[in-house]
Structure 1
Amino acid sequence: MTQFDGELSPPFEIVEPASWRAPIIFNSPHSGSVYPSEFLNASRIDLAALRRSEDSFMDELIGGLSDQGFPTVRVNFPRSYVDVNREPYELDPRMFTGRLPSFANTRSMRVAGGLGTIPRVVGDGQEIYRERLSVDDALGRIEALYKPYHRALRRLINKAHQAFGTVILVDCHSMPSVGVSRDEPRRPDIVIGDRYGTSCASLLPDVVEQIMSELGYSTGRNKPYAGGFITEHYGNPASGLHTVQLELNRAIYMDERRRERSPRFAQVVADFAALADALAQVPLGDLGPFQAAAE
């Protein structure tokens, strides 16, 4: 579809180092901030409200890691437009005119919450659209944006897997400093998600927790975020595919209300570099099976 060619070109960016230091990929799927004009015209809320769903500046926090030998991936379109951290067809039939294809997952918990592949609401529950979208519009976004991103990410993962026999995908997100519910306890500085021990070798979240704690961050595991589709889909430790999700508290590195980097931003960049260094020093043999080496 050509409607994305101008404003969303490129829709995502992969920066590979000249020489890979380790099979570790840093991915930022939710920091995109290029809002197509037709999307803004269809929205009942303003840009500031839409942007509350962004993991603002997370792509910048990891951007320099490519100079240290680690490939980085960033998505440029906003998650409120297409969310790549979902199944390809988690779609809410109430949002669309016409019939969704039979293979669409219309009953997931994420769809019920309004946060499917084409979200119905932004993070704080505000409805995005003034009127229903066409099914063709939704399917067009998935074909033009979602699928190319996942094809490229899969190629990158396969490249590392073949070269090293194992791969670590670090899926980088940020979270609001306070939850929607007043009953939720204070959020830690960083939440490490491994789908309750299923998406990576247990050594990896242990290393993340140790390094970030030593750097002065409070940490949590899997609550309130255990990892989304990317963590679940690409994490297969028995095959040497390890995925860990990091959710960084936005108050650590930005002014949430003004959406500006805080004075601590440069320090957080340095701390992420230290974390990458520590992960690169983990002996690959300690992670478990080497699938590529056995083929």
Structure 2
Amino acid sequence: MNRIKSDATAPAGAEKGGQDNALEPSFDEYGAKRFDVPILLSVPHAGRAYPDFILQHSRVDLTILQRLEDRYADLLVGKLLDQDYPALIARTPRAMIDLNRDERDIDPVIISDMPGHISLVRTAKQRGGLGLIPRFLPRSGDLWKGPIAWAQVSERIENHHRPYHHRIGARLDELHSVHPEVLLLDIHSMPPLPAKAGEKRPDVVIGDRFGASAATRLAETACAVIRAHGYAPALNTPYPGYHLIERHAKPVVGRHALQIEISRDLYLDSGLNQPGKGLGKILEMMSELVARLEQEIRSQIWSQAAE
């Protein structure tokens, strides 16, 4: 197993100038042989290994590409990995391909030879430059020196996007064969949000796609734990959850999914670049959050069994 390192000096692969095979495998899996818990963790934007071909095609500095990362989001589940919770953590950087997008969410402008038979979707995220292959960022402009060949994009889909989603689906199937209800927790980090007039700014945003991806009680439990740890939770605003939980959730049959967005200034340093002093408190919150959600899922199972 090639575990993503938890220290700032030795991240997965090389941050700059790494070999093209730095992303083999494209994600790391934990707890693969564990079936006694009804929870699967996903960290799709943790990748920070940038192969040479990505850096050579970039028209911006590495630090700009790193703005797409959920910086050190893999550390947010460190205690949970120590407890051997089932988890998938991406090594592929978001600048290369976004695992939280539909594989058809491609801006044709970025492709030099887009095949006419490929069915695409248009989304607000894509129009904002953040489709399957991120195209530009505000204040930085276009990310790439020119269009990308379809063969390259197709390779990224085949070798990075599809395997990640296939394994999530397969792992949920395995857990669901043992447990009547299962929960996917899709874990992200977000830029610090501004506070609204007279309100405390949200520290952690729980997304359940406005009730479409999980039973209401799960989001309520998550918000209660966050609040008990002294942080301000928000529900669905401004992040209700996106492709990953939409794709893999089906609460009507007992397959739930929540997205968790944690403000980066709570666990990174003042430059939002390296792990900071607040990481320990966040790890404690995450540990209790998952334990309480597991308890909630199991209590529902027992209540059903008693009927």
> What's the TM-score once normalised by structure 2's chain length?
0.86
Counterpart residue number, 1:117: 132
Counterpart residue number, 1:93: 108
Q: For the structure 1 residues 45 and 197, does the alpha-carbon distance in structure 2 shift closer, same or farther, using more than 3 Å as the test? A: same
**Preserved CA contact (<8 Å) 1:24 1:168:** yes
2-side partners of 1:213 and 1:40: how far apart? 41
The alpha carbon displacement at 1:63 in A equals 2.9
Counterpart residue number, 2:280: 266
2-side partners of 1:96 and 1:254: how far apart? 35
* RMSD (Å), alpha carbons: 2.5
Does residue 161 (structure 1) correspond to residue 182 (structure 2)? The answer is no
Counterpart residue number, 2:69: 54
Does residue 63 (structure 1) correspond to residue 44 (structure 2)? The answer is no
Counterpart residue number, 2:262: 248
Match of 1:26 among 19, 29, 41: 41
Does residue 79 (structure 1) correspond to residue 94 (structure 2)? The answer is yes
| Secondary structure, aligned partner of 1:159 | helix
1-side partners of 2:128 and 2:84: how far apart? 39
For these two proteins, the number of residue pairs brought into alignment is: 285
**Preserved CA contact (<8 Å) 2:181 2:297:** no
Match of 1:146 among 150, 155, 161: 161
Counterpart residue number, 2:294: 280
Q: For the structure 1 residues 266 and 228, does the alpha-carbon distance in structure 2 shift closer, same or farther, using more than 3 Å as the test? A: same
Match of 2:217 among 194, 203, 226: 203
Q: For the structure 1 residues 242 and 124, does the alpha-carbon distance in structure 2 shift closer, same or farther, using more than 3 Å as the test? A: farther
Encode CA deviations 1:102-131: one digit per residue, 9 max, x unaligned. Answer: 343242222211111111124766321011
Q: For the structure 1 residues 19 and 8, does the alpha-carbon distance in structure 2 shift closer, same or farther, using more than 3 Å as the test? A: closer
Counterpart residue number, 2:120: 105
2-side partners of 1:145 and 1:283: how far apart? 31
The alpha carbon displacement at 1:178 in A equals 3.7
Q: Which runs of 4+ in 1 moved over 6 A?
A: 287-290
The alpha carbon displacement at 1:257 in A equals 2.3
Aligned-residue sequence identity (percent) comes to 31
- Residue 226 of structure 1 aligns with an amino acid whose one-letter code is P
Counterpart residue number, 1:8: 23
| Secondary structure, aligned partner of 2:183 | strand
Q: For the structure 1 residues 206 and 125, does the alpha-carbon distance in structure 2 shift closer, same or farther, using more than 3 Å as the test? A: farther
The alpha carbon displacement at 1:89 in A equals 1.8
2-side partners of 1:107 and 1:235: how far apart? 22
| Secondary structure, aligned partner of 2:89 | strand
Counterpart residue number, 1:44: 59
Match of 2:148 among 108, 127, 133: 133
Counterpart residue number, 2:206: 192
**Preserved CA contact (<8 Å) 1:24 1:167:** yes
**Preserved CA contact (<8 Å) 1:23 1:167:** yes
The alpha carbon displacement at 1:258 in A equals 5.1
The alpha carbon displacement at 1:99 in A equals 2.3
- Residue 270 of structure 1 aligns with an amino acid whose one-letter code is E
1-side partners of 2:120 and 2:186: how far apart? 23
The alpha carbon displacement at 1:70 in A equals 1.7
2-side partners of 1:114 and 1:70: how far apart? 34
Give ranges in structure 1 of 5+ residues lacking alignment.
none
1-side partners of 2:153 and 2:297: how far apart? 43
> What's the TM-score once normalised by structure 1's chain length?
0.89
- Residue 244 of structure 1 aligns with an amino acid whose one-letter code is L
2-side partners of 1:112 and 1:288: how far apart? 46
**Preserved CA contact (<8 Å) 1:235 1:242:** yes
**Preserved CA contact (<8 Å) 2:35 2:174:** no
